[in-house]
């Protein structure tokens, strides 16, 4: 869920969190329902009378009919809360092939090797810092075309923290750098496919190279990195792959269609790979996490001269990088795969996709088009179609 950082801390996720812990908390409402039901029985008339007298001293005008109504309402709320909890558990276990991690499997992070693409800045940088804050002895490998924009702790670079400059839009570079990582650091157990780019053109605008570099970096690179690092994870039935998807895969905004299409491919990669790991490779404990995020606060994202897209911030707050990275780190440390929706409302937007097409277009897609999102990629492309240094 979104946090205190977004929209001064008051948004749909804040309200949802309060409601879930009170009215839709079955641990609260079901006991209330049971107590009110018991009081409504003829055998409890004496106790009910005492309760009504005590309520009167508090200024509450309770009657037997009101107590009976409280029982029915509390039972409905408790039942709804129970169904939400059951749904959450079923989602978790189905996403993890109904398999538990072995005792202590994810307790010793100094033994894990984590690859973070795009870890030089932004979300990737915060993921790396979050992992190191949890356990400074975790071995982390950063793959990025850009140089590090932050200074690692003294003595860590080249020991527990490794940086490899790599243009992930080039398959030959990916093959070479992955071979170096295995030879110089070891076989990764966690892969976070975070690196991505967008060019900010309509389908008619931009050059061939703009489309090609977007798909190569956002979609082909994650596929190839999985091919490089999955075999050892499958061999040991241990690993975790995190895919940074986007709500644009569900609702593609104008001027970001190539980006959205590449993220829709990431969604298919997540879903199809989950089936392959269980039914083709017999590796059900290789965990997968998919991240469906709303727009994230960045200087590259604007709208009609504004600092952020023109969308209702209460229902769809612009996310902070720290919120996103915290959710990813917490998910990895749980030892289980998941689908992370931020803000939580995005889960229900995704459900609307399966509803009537006209409803989705009118209620969701048209609103996205009216946000007038402006996204201008910061990367430069060289004459060969790859990324060029600034």
Cβ atoms 97, 278 nearer than 8 A: yes
Q: Is 390 a catalytic residue?
A: no
| Six-digit token string for 23 | 């009215």
List phi, psi (to 5°) of 346: -60, -25
Q: Is the dihedral of CA 345, 350, 354, 355 positive or negative?
A: positive
Between CA 389 and CA 178 the distance in angstroms is 21
Please give the angle made by the CA atoms of 82, 85 and 88, to the nearest 5 degrees: 150
Between CA 337 and CA 133 the distance in angstroms is 21
Cβ atoms 164, 143 nearer than 8 A: yes
Cβ atoms 324, 6 nearer than 8 A: no
How many other C-beta atoms lie within 10 A of the C-beta of residue 362?
11
Dmax (CA) of the chain: 88
Identify the active-site residue in 259, 270, 336, 341: 259
DSSP 232-297: HHHHHT-EEEEEE--GGGTSPPTT-HHHHHHHHHHHHHHHHHHHHHHHTS--TTEEEEEEEE--B-
Q: Is the peptide bond before 343 cis (omega within 30 degrees of 0)?
A: yes
Q: Is the dihedral of CA 323, 328, 332, 338 positive or negative?
A: positive
DSSP 34-102: HHHHHHTSGGGHHHHHHHHHHHHHTT----HHHHHHHHHHHHHHHHHHHHHHHHHHHHHHHHTTT-PPP
Q: Is 227 a catalytic residue?
A: no
Identify the active-site residue in 263, 270, 336, 341: 263
Between CA 224 and CA 74 the distance in angstroms is 52
| Six-digit token string for 290 | 């998919």
* Active site positions, annotated: 259, 263
């Amino acid at each position: 869920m979104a946090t205190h950082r977004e929209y001064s801390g008051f948004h749909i996720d804040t309200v949802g969190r309060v409601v879930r812990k009170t009215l839709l908390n079955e641990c609260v409402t079901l006991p209330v329902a049971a107590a009110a039901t018991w009081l409504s029985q003829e055998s409890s008339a004496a106790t009910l009378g005492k309760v009504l007298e005590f309520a009167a001293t508090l200024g509450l005008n309770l009657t037997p009919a009101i107590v009976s109504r409280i029982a029915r309402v509390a039972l409905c709320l408790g039942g709804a809360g129970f169904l939400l909890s059951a749904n959450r558990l079923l989602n978790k276990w189905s996403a993890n092939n109904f398999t538990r991690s072995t005792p202590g499997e994810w307790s010793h992070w100094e033994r894990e090797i984590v690859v973070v693409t795009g870890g030089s800045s932004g979300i990737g940088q915060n993921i790396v810092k979050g992992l190191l804050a949890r356990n400074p002895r975790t071995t982390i490998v950063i793959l990025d075309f850009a140089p590090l924009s932050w200074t690692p702790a003294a003595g860590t670079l080249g020991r527990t923290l490794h940086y490899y400059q790599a243009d992930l839009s080039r398959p030959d570079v990916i093959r070479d750098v992955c071979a170096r990582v295995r030879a110089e650091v070891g076989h990764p157990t966690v892969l976070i496919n975070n690196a991505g780019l967008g060019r900010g053109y309509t389908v008619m605008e931009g050059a061939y190279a703009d489309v090609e570099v977007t798909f190569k970096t956002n979609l082909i690179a994650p596929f190839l990195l999985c091919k490089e690092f999955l075999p050892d994870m499958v061999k040991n039935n241990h690993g975790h792959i995190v895919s940074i998807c986007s709500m644009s895969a569900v609702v593609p905004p104008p001027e970001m269609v190539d980006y959205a299409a590449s993220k829709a491919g990431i969604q298919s990669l997540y879903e199809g790979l989950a089936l392959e790991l269980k039914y083709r490779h017999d590796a059900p404990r290789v965990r997968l996490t998919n991240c469906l995020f709303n727009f994230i606060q960045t200087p590259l994202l604007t709208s009609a001269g504004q600092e952020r897209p023109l969308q209702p911030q209460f229902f769809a707050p612009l996310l902070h990088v720290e919120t996103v990275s915290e959710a990813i780190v917490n998910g990895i440390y749980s030892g289980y795969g998941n689908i992370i929706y931020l803000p939580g409302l995005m889960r229900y937007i995704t459900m609307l996709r399966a509803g009537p097409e006209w409803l989705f277009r009118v209620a969701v897609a048209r609103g996205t088009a009216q946000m007038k999102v402006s996204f201008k990629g910061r990367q430069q492309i060289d004459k060969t179609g790859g990324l060029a240094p600034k």
